[in-house]
Amino acid sequence: MSSSPILLGVNIDHAATLRQARYRSAATTCGGMIEPDPVELALAAERAGADGITVHLREDRRHIQERDVLRLRECIKTRLNLEMACTDAMVAFALKLKPEFACLVPENRTEVTTEGGLDVAGQRSRVRDTVAALTAAGIQTSLFIDPDAASLEAAAEMQSPFVELHTGAYANAYFTPAQAALELERLRSAAALGQRLGLTVNAGHGINYVNIAQIRTIAGLHELNIGHSILSRALFTGIEEAVREMKRRMH
Ligand code: PXP
C-alpha cells in the first residue's frame, strides 16, 4: 500500500461542454468573447493544487477540441492525462502530442459519459499494440477498467503500468447503502489485486465531495480523476476553492 497522499487529476471536459453549448460553430476555441476557456481553468486548477489535468478528446468532439489539447500541452505545468479511445487516429494524435499519460477508455457515441470500463479481454491485440506504441514514445498508459478480477488480470497482461478503476457503479449506488457497500468492497478488492499484479491503481468517475469520504479509504490508490463534481462546485465557489476543498477532503 502506498503511503503517499492520493494525487488529484482534474478533468476539465465540462468547461468545454459549457463553451460548446454556445460556440460550437466558432472558428476558434478561445479569444474574443468565447468563454469559458478550459485552458485558463486548467491553469487556475493547477494554482490551487491540482496534480494533473485530464481531458477526454472524444471522437465526436462534443466538448474538448484538438486545439484545446495542444494549448494545454504548451501551457500547463503539471502533467497532461489524455483520455482516448483505442483507435489509430487517436494513437497518431497522442504520438504527436506526447502527454505524460494516456488513459485508454471505451467510447460510444450515444453515451452521455463513459459508461463502462474498457473490454481489455475482448480486444487484447488492439490494446496491447496501443500500449506498446504509446510506451515506445515515452507516454505512460493507463487502462480504464471495471473493478473486477478478470479485467485486472487482462490489464496486467497488457504491460500497462497504470489502471484506472471505474468508480461509477459505486457512485450510482450511493443512495442504496447495501449496494454501495458491495460496490465499495469490489473497489477495495480490485485495488488490492491491482497492486499484487504490479499495477499502479488510479480511480475515477462519479467521485464527488460526499463519496470522497469513502473512496479515500480504499487502500493504495495513487490518483483520482475528478471532473463533473469539481466543475459543478466551481460555479459557486470558483475553481480554485473547488480544487482546494476536494484536496482537503481527500486527505
Ligand atoms: N475517469 C475517466 C476515465 C472518465 O472517462 C471520466 C469522465 O470523463 C472521469 C474519470 C471523470 O468522471 P467525473 O466527471 O464523473 O468526475
Q: What is the pLDDT of residue 219?
A: 97
Residue 3, pLDDT above cutoff 80: no
1 pLDDT tier (thresholds 50, 70, 90): very low
Residue 150: count other Cβ atoms within 10 Å of its Cβ.
Answer: 11
The interaxial angle of helices 13-23 and 228-237, nearest 10 deg, is 70
> What's the mean pLDDT in 76-105?
98
> What's the mean pLDDT in 188-214?
98
- Ligand 1-lining residues (CB < 6 angstroms): 11, 13, 56, 83, 103, 105, 113-114, 144, 164, 204-207, 225-229
* Terminal C-alpha separation, the chain: 16
From the CA of 229, give the closest atom in ligand 1.
Answer: 16
Chain segment 165-187, per-residue pLDDT in tens? 999 999 999 999 999 999 999 99
Q: How far apart are CA 101 and CA 7, in angstroms?
A: 14
Nearest CA to ligand 1 atom 9: 205
Whole-number Å distance, alpha carbon 158 to ligand 1 midpoint, is: 22
From the CA of 207, give the closest atom in ligand 1.
Answer: 16
Q: Are 51 and 43 in contact (CB under 8 A)?
A: no
Query: Three cell numbers at 83?
Result: 483520455
Q: Mean pLDDT over all residues of the chain? A: 96
Which residues have CB under 8 Å from 235's CB, separation 6+? none
Q: What is the pLDDT of residue 112?
A: 76
* Closest to 103 in 3D by CA, of 223, 190, 228: 223
Query: Three cell numbers at 237?
Result: 465557489
Q: How buried is 219 (Cβ within 10 angstroms: 0-12 exposed, 13-18 middle, 19+ buried)?
A: exposed
Q: Are 102 and 63 in contact (CB under 8 A)?
A: no
To test the ligand 1 pocket, which listed residue (8, 10, 11, 166) has its Cβ within 8 A of the most ligand atoms?
11
Q: How far apart are CA 226 and CA 204, in angstroms?
A: 6
Residue with cell 483507435: 87
Residue with cell 489502471: 163
Residue 190, pLDDT above cutoff 60: yes
- The number of CA neighbours under 13 Å toward the Cβ of 29 is 21
Query: Three cell numbers at 100?
Result: 505524460
> What's the mean pLDDT in 225-242?
98
Q: What is the pLDDT of residue 21?
A: 97
From the CA of 205, give the closest atom in ligand 1.
Answer: 12
pTM, to two decimals:
0.96
Q: Of residues 83, 164, 183, 223, which has the active-site annotation?
A: 83
Residue 7: count other Cβ atoms within 10 Å of its Cβ.
Answer: 18
Nearest CA to ligand 1 atom 11: 205
Q: Of residues 14, 63, 166, 205, which has the active-site annotation?
A: 205
Query: Three cell numbers at 156?
Result: 496486467
Whole-number Å distance, alpha carbon 167 to ligand 1 midpoint, is: 9
Q: Give 101's strand partners.
A: 81, 140
Active site residue 63: no
Whole-number Å distance, alpha carbon 55 to ligand 1 midpoint, is: 9
Strands 80-84 and 200-204: unpaired
